[in-house]
Amino acid sequence: MADAPTERRVLIDVFAGAGGNSIAFARSGRWDRVYAIEQQATLLECARHNARLYEVEDRITWIHGDCFRVLENELRRVENAVLFASPPWGGECCVVRLVLCVLCCASCVVRLVLCDD
C-alpha cells in the first residue's frame, strides 16, 4: 500500500476476514478511515474483538455483507479511497482475478471472477 497516492486517505478492505489487515492499516496512521467488509458474521465479530484488543476500534468501520453489494450501495459515494483485496483461498484449482474500474466520479466497481483455468 506504499504505492497508494498520498491524497487518497480512505482504505476499503473488501475481504476483511478476522481483521488482521484492517487493523494493521488502522494502526499505521496512514489512513483517515478504514472500512472493512466481511460477509461471514462470526469472522466479523472476531475482527471487531481483535480491533478492540489493538485499540483501533474507533478507526475502523465494520460492515457485514457482500463486498460487491456494499461497494455499490453503502460505499458508493466514498471518494479518494484505495481498495485492498486479499480474497480467501478458493482451493488449488481456483484462480482469482480482480478487475478494478475507476469511474469518472471516483467511485470504484469491483468484479471478482472465479475460474478453473
pLDDT per residue over 38-88, tens digit each?
Answer: 999 999 999 999 999 999 999 999 999 998 889 889 998 898 888 888 877
Superfamily of domain 10-91: Vaccinia Virus protein VP39 (3.40.50.150)
The H-or-E segment that residue 19 falls in is none
Q: CA 69 from chain center: how many Å? A: 13
The answer to whether 72 and 112 have CB atoms below 8 angstroms apart is no
Asked if 30 and 8 count as a contact pair (C-beta separation under 8 A), the reply is no
Highest mean pLDDT among 4-18, 43-57, 63-77, 102-116: 43-57
Instruction: Name the residue among 117, 13, 115 with its Cα closest to residue 70.
Output: 13
**Would you kindly state where each structural domain of the chain is located, as residue ranges?**
10-91
Residue keyed to cell 472476531: 46
Tens of pLDDT, residues 88-99: 765 444 334 344
Residue 5, pLDDT score: 82
